[in-house]
Amino acid sequence: MDLLRNITAGNPRALIKPVLYTTLANLIGIVPFALLVEAARLIFEPFASPGTALQTERLWWVCGGMAVSLILMYASEVPAYRSQFRQAYSAAAEGRTRLAEHLRKLPLGYLNKRDPGDLANMMMGDFTMVEHGISHLVPQMIGALVMPVLALAGLSFLDWRMALALFAAFPLAVALVMLTSGIQHKLGANHMRAKIDAANRLQEYLNGIRVIKAYNMTGESFARLTLSFRELMRQSIRIEGLLGPIVLSAIACIRAGLTFMIMVGVHLLLGGSLDLIVFVSFLIVGTRIYDPLTTVLVNYAEFRYHEQAGERIVRLLQEPVMPGKRQPPAAYDIELEQVTFGYNRQTVLREVNLSIPAGTFTALVGPSGSGKSTVLRLIARFYDPAGGKVLLGGNNIRDMEPEALLSKISMVFQDVYLFQDTIAANIRFGRNNATMEEIEEAARQACCHDFIMKLPNGYDTLVGEGGSTLSGGEKQRISIARALLKDAPIVLLDEATASLDPENEAVIQEAIDRLVQGKTVIVIAHRLKTVRSADHIVVLDNGSIVEQGSHSNLLAAKGLYARLWDIQQQADTWKMIE
Ligand SMILES: Nc1ncnc2c1ncn2[C@@H]1O[C@H](COP(=O)(O)OP(=O)(O)OP(=O)(O)O)[C@@H](O)[C@H]1O
């Protein structure tokens, strides 16, 4: 049952129709074959029993029956074919959506541990293998058993000795495939690993192609890629090199059964204990059961390989999603109590205590790597802290449904990601049901309406994956428009003005001022002068809060903030002199 669950990526019901229809089609497929045996019997009868006349009328009936059975075969194969593909493609489409949904609900910590290439390969490659399993491997394997099983039953009835001889080698063939299934599984796993690694290396190469060109690193990075391709080739050859002989030996065993049956048949015929017609019937049936039996064995070997792809999907689907069912309260004060957190083993935040009253503006400042973004990620519950609590309106966010919590939060990141879609659709991510007027209004507020109108198709202009066709400042403003449209009571903002020119910076500041009005705001400030008027400034260093207060208090304290302020002031003065 586990195997069937794996090959269908956790949806074994998808096999019911294809297996039923294929089995039915195979059953009907036996009718012309049985009629062929009957025709042979009728033709051989006058030779086997001299003096008996050829039953021509009966022979005509058999021919008529054959014509009808061919029509029936066609009529049964069409729905079988349809159901195989319909079920396979719909199970894969439904499975891909389920997995994508599941990935969204998994803790980011889990996703960080996995290569994006691995997940992309699972979505496309592994599901293609599941499709093949549902459309071909399982239905054909089960359908192909119909003919040999019925042949065994029918032939045993005719002459059990001959039937035994015909099928004598089959258990040996099955044993060969079954006993080597451990090796097959190991080779399959190695091959799968090499395939994923090659996909990851390829993705890394394509993503980094600009850096590779810029630093003329073609040789080195290409070596990693070619090494992974070579490993994939090695594993492919190993799997074929070892599996091929196993399957071929199993097929040879089945074929040996026919030779053995002919030898037994000749012996019995010469001994006078076997009827010629029975012998001919066995010869006809014997030559026809190879194909289905070979299909069963080849499909089984292939099935064990494809089943591993499905197993990877099933295992990922079983990964626990972030817990929490409660809806967030309508109170937006945020508190961090003794929060400790690390992405890996290294601690990034140490016993952080922070109180952010609703409707206030708080700035997080500190050296690079001090943990500012991590604080925002914990408030948005991208991760749960290892120790301590994050409270919203006095309630632990660990108990809240992550999506419901996020509906209360607008986030503007430093590196904005735009989807390969129109500008309007990218802004609409803020609120799905927003009208075009609302989108335009948000764009106006975010100071991006004017530049959008200058684009070739205005709001319908397509932006490239990652927003590559827009400038950094334009992307930032689009993401502010998104956040304005969402109109969430909490705004988390990773200020990106550091790398922008003064003109863009002023426009973005204007957009941000509109976004944060009347909200509970936490801003990561890289440029201290932008947050001088914040209600509260929190200074982080090496994962701990080292000081906090208003701008003037912190300057007076002459601590880290005052030092950072001096450094930035001097840098600005230098810029002005230049
Ligand atoms: N996804 C991650 N996996 C592992 N370590 C991470 C991850 N994100 C951040 N870190 C590490 O955690 C520490 C804090 O990072 P964080 O991004 O919170 O700092 P920051 O103060 O926001 O830095 P910056 O101002 O440069 O953006 C850093 O040492 C960083 O290398």
pLDDT score of 500:
60
Question: What span, in angstroms and rounded, lies between the C-alpha atoms of 473 and 479?
Answer: 10
Q: What is the Å distance from ligand 1's center to 348 Cα?
A: 8
Q: What residues are paired with 541 via a beta bridge?
A: 544
pLDDT score of 180:
82
pLDDT score of 128:
93
Q: Are 464 and 455 in contact (CB under 8 A)?
A: no
Which one, of 283, 292, 296, 293, lies nearest residue 254 by Cα? 293
Confirm or reject: Cβ of 368 under 6 Å from ligand 1: yes
pLDDT score of 305:
85
In testing the pocket of ligand 1, which one of 111, 112, 343 has its CB within 8 Å of the most ligand atoms? 343
Across the range 208-227, mean pLDDT stands at: 74
Which one, of 258, 260, 263, lies nearest residue 284 by Cα? 258
The pLDDT of residue 221 is above 70: no
Across the range 363-389, mean pLDDT stands at: 92
pLDDT score of 494:
85
Question: What span, in angstroms and rounded, lies between the C-alpha atoms of 414 and 485?
Answer: 19
Q: What is the Å distance from ligand 1's center to 371 Cα?
A: 6
Q: How confident is the model at residue 577 (pLDDT cuts 50, 70, 90)?
A: low
Across the range 90-117, mean pLDDT stands at: 87
Highest mean pLDDT among 107-116, 183-192, 412-421, 568-577: 183-192
pLDDT score of 209:
79
The residue assigned the tokens 């200020």 is 495
Across the range 216-230, mean pLDDT stands at: 78
Q: What angle do CA 69, 70, 76 make, to 5 degrees?
A: 85
Q: Of 51 and 493, which is predicted with more confidence?
A: 493
Across the range 132-156, mean pLDDT stands at: 90
The pLDDT of residue 376 is above 90: yes
Q: How confident is the model at residue 89 (pLDDT cuts 50, 70, 90)?
A: very high
pLDDT score of 395:
93
Confirm or reject: Cβ of 112 under 6 Å from ligand 1: yes
Q: What angle do CA 143, 293, 130 make, to 5 degrees?
A: 50
Helix, strand, or coil here: 435? coil
Query: Each residue of 524-567: pLDDT tens digit?
Result: 988 888 888 889 999 999 999 999 998 989 888 888 998 988 88
pLDDT score of 19:
93
Query: Each residue of 449-458: pLDDT tens digit?
Result: 988 998 888 9
Q: How confident is the model at residue 246 (pLDDT cuts 50, 70, 90)?
A: confident
Of the CA atoms within 13 Å of residue 45, those in its CB half-sphere come to 14
pLDDT score of 417:
82
pLDDT score of 184:
83
Which one, of 362, 360, 363, lies nearest residue 332 by Cα? 360
Confirm or reject: Cβ of 543 under 6 Å from ligand 1: no
Look up residue 374 and give its amino acid: T
Highest mean pLDDT among 279-288, 379-388, 468-477, 492-501: 379-388
For residue 543, the ligand 1 atom closest to its alpha carbon is: 14
Note the residue count of the chain.
578
**Helix or strand run (H / E) with residue 545:** strand 544-549
The pLDDT of residue 467 is above 60: no
In testing the pocket of ligand 1, which one of 344, 365, 373, 495 has its CB within 8 Å of the most ligand atoms? 373
Cα distances (Å, whole numbers) of residue 471 to 293, 415, 520, 530, 531: 63, 11, 29, 22, 25
For residue 374, the ligand 1 atom closest to its alpha carbon is: 18
Which one, of 408, 378, 377, lies nearest residue 393 by Cα? 408
pLDDT score of 201:
85
Q: Of 117 and 343, which is predicted with more confidence?
A: 343
pLDDT score of 574:
60
Q: What percent of the chain has pLDDT over 90?
A: 38
The pLDDT of residue 475 is above 60: yes
Cα-to-chain-centroid distance, residue 488: 31
Across the range 153-177, mean pLDDT stands at: 89
pLDDT score of 233:
95
Tokens encoding 412: 């503007």
Residue bearing the CA closest to ligand 1, atom 24: 368
For residue 364, the ligand 1 atom closest to its alpha carbon is: 21
Query: Each residue of 341-352: pLDDT tens digit?
Result: 998 888 999 999
Across the range 92-107, mean pLDDT stands at: 91
Q: What percent of the chain has pLDDT over 70?
A: 95
Q: CB atoms < 10 A from the CB of 431, how many?
A: 17
Domains observed in the chain: 2-317 (1.20.1560.10), 328-408+488-578 (3.40.50.300), 413-487 (3.40.50.300)
Confirm or reject: Cβ of 371 under 6 Å from ligand 1: yes
The pLDDT of residue 149 is above 60: yes
Confirm or reject: Cβ of 113 under 6 Å from ligand 1: no
Q: List Cβ<8 Å contacts ≥24 apart for 222-226.
A: 225/201
Q: What single string gives the DSSP state of each residue in 142-188?
A: HHHHHHHHHHHHHHHHH-HHHHHHHHTTHHHHHHHHHHTHHHHHHHH
pLDDT score of 96:
94
Across the range 472-476, mean pLDDT stands at: 83
Query: Each residue of 49-86: pLDDT tens digit?
Result: 777 888 888 899 999 999 999 999 899 999 999 999 99
pLDDT score of 105:
87
Q: Backbone phi, then psi, for 56, in 5-degree steps? A: -65, -40
The pLDDT of residue 197 is above 90: no
Q: For the full predicted model, state whether its pTM sits above 0.80.
A: no
Confirm or reject: Cβ of 348 under 6 Å from ligand 1: yes
